[in-house]
Amino acid sequence: MHNKTLAELAEGLRNQQFSSRELTEAYLTRINQHQELNAFITVTAELALALADAADARLAKGDAGPLTGIPIAHKDIFCTDGVKTSCGSKMLDNFIAPYDATVVAKLQQAGVVMLGKLNMDEFAMGSSNETSYYGPVKNPWDLNAVPGGSSGGSAAAIAARLAAGVTGTDTGGSIRQPAAFCGITGLKPTYGRVSRYGMIAYASSLDQGGPMARTAEDAAILLQAMAGFDERDSTSVDRPIPDYRAALKKPIDNLKIGLPKEFFGEGLSAEVAQVIETAIDEYRKLGAEVIEVSMPNLKLAIPAYYVIAPAECSANLSRFDGVRFGYRCANPTDLTDLYTRSRGEGFGREVKRRILMGTYALSAGYYDAFYIKAQKIRRLISEDFKKALSEVDVLMGPVAPSVAFGIGEKIGNPIEMYLSDIYTIAVNLAGLPAMSIPAGLASGKPVGLQIIGDYFAEDRLLTVAHRYQQTTNWHQLTPPGFA
């Protein structure tokens, strides 16, 4: 059963080929068998079986939707009522969320079965899933390699067939990059399309939740349930939601693809470049026109991002002070000691680094020089995308400059680690939708093709991705040992 896509599992449940309980038990068994991946922080087996039984009752009555009885898991950044929500941090190791995030609630209303909470970089800060308090997640394609970050547990769980679908979040590429490293499909929606309520914030103007699954069709089914306006989220956009699954049937005749020349310069692995070029050729065979475009301000994306995101993280993480919830140091001597030691002991090295960077950028004398300038660059990058997308339907290129690198290979060099997001960060600065789909292998490891669209054009992205997956089989590959 675990080798079926989410869409196939839904059909099997409707046709009574198996029950949700049988399906859930099969996934729980696989999770237990593959603990070496360290993909899960919390497994909610008892809750999952109760939800599966409830789903079976709905299925028996004919009162079921496309997600009823489907076992999924959530990135441990989404609050889940009565279940630990840690953000991969010692700071929240003892935090039991008192409510459900909107994404969790929407999927629960759709009838999913929650298997548990997935490992992640601490507070979503990282590109390799090595900053987690619970240890690194391993890539199913190579247990000595990283799965990408920060949604590394999510990507590894799908690649290893430990869940039918998962949730992730993307602040600078944290859905797309791990999706590329693990050979799965991941979609970062337009900023505001999916509610951020109950999604613990890293950088509020950049964070966006989205689906991760095996195929574009599966991602469409998940996004249909996740998307929508939420009055509790001031950044949520009140806009009609298209039928994403129906959009998959649309033709892509006369598709115009833009290739930003800045994505194909120095730093891109020759092997990765070859895979991407082969994928683009496949679209040419499908009748697409390919045009080179230029986005001159893309080279400024990383410096702008690493001013804006740490500045917002500095503000957002100030609430973790050892007073109201989360980790508290032992025997503080006074209030200053309580704050200092609770934060010093509760946060990991990368989180502390970004808090310091952000506080510095926001400090008197540097706010104008760094933060305001970074926001101006952000506008220039958005204008580059606007111009390019006025000429073409979608933009395509690599997700990352290389395949998954080794565990420990870059953790000691923050700058080199930050550069692994060089092709994804600009999309978040502009607030655009983008996705990664499997496009091939290089040195035996997956390579992801990035597809970027205009605002609220998730349906077009899914259509373009689905058409490619109908003519190729890269999304069907399973890591050796996980069949």
174 is catalytic: yes
- Please report how the helices 45-61 and 20-33 are oriented relative to each other, as an axis angle in degrees rounded to 10: 160
**Bridge-partner residues for 293, per DSSP?**
260
DSSP β-ladder status, 434-442 and 445-452: antiparallel
DSSP secondary structure letter of residue 405: P
H or E stretch including 296? none
- Selected catalytic residue, list 86, 127, 150, 154: 150
- Selected catalytic residue, list 174, 195, 236, 436: 174
- The DSSP string of 457-478 is -HHHHHHHHHHHHHH--GGG--
151 is catalytic: no
- Selected catalytic residue, list 19, 20, 75, 90: 75
Alpha-carbon separation of residue 395 from 295, 307, 432 (angstroms): 11, 26, 11
Residue carrying the six token digits 């496309």 = 66
Long-range contacts of 56-64 (CB under 8 A, 24+ apart): 56/19, 56/20, 56/21, 58/111, 59/13, 59/14, 59/16, 59/19, 59/20, 64/13, 64/14, 64/111
75 is catalytic: yes
Are 159 and 141 in contact by the 8 Å Cβ rule? The answer is: yes
Alpha-carbon separation of residue 442 from 81, 404, 409, 445 (angstroms): 41, 10, 18, 5
Are 97 and 82 in contact by the 8 Å Cβ rule? The answer is: yes
Catalytic residues: 75, 150, 174
